[in-house]
Structure 1
């Protein structure tokens, strides 16, 4: 299974992970230093309908993705970033620091009250 690399503002990313084959394929992909997964509820079910923004610490939007997930891999320059995930109007924010050569894992979780 081949996942399609995409780019926005010069930033390469992959989104997918729906179904076992696709989630295995994306987890074997190398070359991305931020690995994000999106889950919900008490059983941590993967969710594929997340709007994600990656911003610089100064608030500049670098990457805006709509209806992505449950796994998104991004290749970012080393530095600190603010990740904003929105699902059903509920926002999750996280600050991550990406360092050269290291992979940073981030899970955004919504406790589904909907």
Structure 2
């Protein structure tokens, strides 16, 4: 089949569909991704939009190209820092109010949050990790939570 600017017809359709949703990918031709393996779907909880995924190389590359989310959380495990999914996450304001509670997400979670200070509490197999992040203006906060095994 003929491609447009290096994009297969299925990628063109996906790019058009995603342009009408909160998930907007950078130029799809930047990284060759098998979009049939990608199952990213924005979700919402308490008015907060989030995206979870990154299982497999194609989905991992696709989620990392998504724009518009100001908190990027990554979960990993072991000495090789392997991606970890199936994590439960609670995001709280600095005043301790839970605003998002997610079950079995990861290994990458992107969240759209208002500027504020946040506490991220993640648990996996009974082991908890905590991190704080300050989101200001147009900055993006990055949190990497790692379990040793």
The answer, yes or no, to whether TM exceeds 0.5 is yes
Pairwise CA RMSD of aligned residues?
A: 0.8
- 1:86 is aligned, of 115, 123, 127, to 123
Q: Higher helix fraction: Structure 1 or Structure 2?
A: 2
Q: Does 1:5 align with 2:42?
A: yes
Instruction: Work out which structure has the larger RCO, using CA pairs closer than 8 Å and 6 or more positions apart in sequence.
Output: 1
Q: Higher strand fraction: Structure 1 or Structure 2?
A: 1
Gaps of 5+ in 2: 1-34
TM-score by length of 1: 0.95
Gaps of 5+ in 1: none
- 2:137 is aligned, of 67, 78, 100, to 100
> Looking at CA atoms only, which structure, 1 or 2, has the larger radius of gyration?
2
- 1:33 is aligned, of 58, 61, 70, to 70
Aligned residues: 112
CA distance in 2, matches of 1:90, 1:59: 20
Q: Does 1:20 align with 2:47?
A: no
CA distance in 2, matches of 1:58, 1:104: 19
- Which 4+ residue blocks in structure 1 deviate beyond 3 angstroms? none
- 1:49 is aligned, of 86, 90, 98, to 86
CA distance in 1, matches of 2:123, 2:69: 22
Deviation sequence 1:34-66 (CA, Å, 0-9, x none): 000000011000011100000011111100000
TM-score by length of 2: 0.73
